[in-house]
Structure 1
């Protein structure tokens, strides 16, 4: 009779959010929803936009990189362009600045408006729990700002596109979902406590379908089952040591010990939500809270009916014809240039 041997070293799933992420006992992580990585292109044949990948920091434990996009401009053009520093979404645990999802979106955006984009690649949970991603994005933004006076702030890794074409009086930050959460936390926690190099200011911010949550339901959110709520599970995976859990000020901007929204460090904000998105009511809640806070900037709000979370990214990346996606891309483009 044949014997069987049990492999005691066979890896087991130790943490899972079904269909989204699996963490195994050997430390490996599967992310089934990731879009494929695509290369940058110099002078994209469809848009005329050029892109390249750059190293921001190679210092352990924080290798930070980005994909930078430049619109189709002539070699002799001296006009300075707005700079849009972008933080991708994905619940802090999946997706990439180099994926098809974000490359398609930013190529389209830059083809619509003459603006430079720096799309940041930051460390992901669970291998690198928060605040690693927050720290990386802040370091990337400081690196961008340091190009405002490259002779003073930079001794290496100077990026000529930023030096020759960047307008440091028109710096924007933006992101979707978790990336929009990062935008808020840079405005609320970082700028003001630590000025950017060159005293660069953030002119405006885009928060698309922002990932905020809390233990007290808002709008149509469920009133029971908070422990197994998807957004709570994501936060626990991304930041298991967060004081206060889902009511930590980094995920709940109206938590009792959160900084005042009146101090958001930019001049204008564009908040976008989608009707079918489970985060829609939180986005509306955030918008209303900023309006009531005493913040002195200009706020713009857009709600798209009959669409779900990050539709403006997913539909173009899946090669689906989407008038609503292109409408939002055009609204973002207009926000970035109409100062």
Structure 2
């Protein structure tokens, strides 16, 4: 047997993101964990929240909408555009975890939620997910324009109060929120719609230099490997401003296009030192908005999504709901 031929057909691992996926040199991707998806519901039996799936930009960008029970047929609600977590490689608005969490949050906040289905890496590398997320936000904002060239959604048109527009996300979704709210500072939304507030829960930020209690050894772990897989061409690598907001060439956090910001962290989460630094850095910029930092003792990454019925999760969800529904 020709050994040269054998070596050319042997697959080698270039990114091992176990237990989620492995990517090989021949371009194949092996996924190990299938997301358990659930259908939308006209009336969730626990919360009473209705949900439906819509196409934002065919066929690339989709979303699941969540509408809480209304007190009257013409009721107007705050609007939350939500970006799910999962390291840009897993999860979906249609997953059991995300769907359950959105039902609870929509009911608690009495808000209309648009949970965005952005395309995942490594099949589609960043910045695709950022572009999909921006497209979805533009589509939502376009509902204020009478002759907008979009297919409008009846729930948003009839019940969405786009003077109370929020964006939020967890983990990778928190990273997306950070980048979206900065982009909105230099690229106005359709109809000059403004983002009233944003929240980042356990946001995914990383970098090449230790922060807080981090060690140099920590920096080349899973969070680093994920970024190298999902955005291998990123200028600056792990210090690209989209993953590291604290680099010298990163845009100032003062450019955030919202007036209120809530950062929610978990004590045991590896991302927490950078979440704290994010708030400290923002305060030093002279940003004139209102910022609130919450660190939940004894909990780990995105605990409120994995177990939303725990007491600390319920408290955090109530806090998020209050943030969204505040007038």
TM-score after normalising by structure 1: 0.90
Q: Tell me what 1:126 maps to.
A: 122
Q: 2:141–2:162: 8 Å Cα contact kept in structure 1?
A: yes
Q: Could you say what secondary structure the match of 1:191 adopts? A: helix
Alignment partner for residue 264 of structure 1, among 247, 256, 260?
256
Aligned match for 2:207, one of 214, 223, 226 = 214
> Structure 1 residues 323, 31: CA separation in 2 closer, same or farther (over 3 Å shift)?
farther
* 2:147 corresponding residue in structure 1: 152
Pick from 166, 172, 175 the counterpart of residue 178 of structure 1.
172
Listed as ranges, the gaps of 5+ residues in structure 2 are 1-5
Per the normalisation by structure 2, the TM-score is 0.93
Equivalenced residues, count: 322
Report the counterpart of residue 337 of structure 1 in structure 2. 325
Residues 199-249 of structure 1 deviation map (CA, whole Å, 9 limit, x = unaligned): 0000000100011111110011112363x3211111111110001111111
Instruction: State the shift of 1:23 in Å.
Output: 2.1
Could you list the per-position Cα deviations for residues 182-202 of structure 1 after superposition, in whole angstroms to 9, with x for gaps in the alignment? 1000111x1132211110000
2:85 to 83, 89, 101: 89
Listed one character per residue, the Cα deviations across residues 93-122 of structure 1 (whole Å, up to 9, x for unaligned) are 111111111101010111112100000000
Q: Does 1:66 align with 2:63?
A: yes
Aligned to 2:297: 305
Equivalent residue for 1:187?
Answer: 181
CA RMSD in angstroms, aligned pairs only: 1.9
State how far apart, in whole Å, the 1-side matches of 2:30 and 2:106 are.
32
Name which of 315, 323, 326 aligns with 1:327: 315
- Aligned residue for 2:52, secondary structure, equals strand
In 1, the alpha carbon distance for the partners of 2:136 and 2:42 equals 23
Instruction: Quote the offset at 1:128 in angstroms.
Output: 0.6
Q: In the alignment, what sits opposite 2:15? A: 15
Compared with structure 1, are the counterparts of its residues 173 and 256 closer, same or farther at alpha carbon in structure 2 (3 Å cutoff)? same
Report deviation, 1:34. 4.9
Task: For residues 241-269 of structure 1, give each alpha carbon's deviation from its aligned partner in whole angstroms, at most 9, with x where no partner exists.
Answer: 00111111111111111111111110000
Could you tell me which residue of structure 2 aligns to residue 106 of structure 1?
102
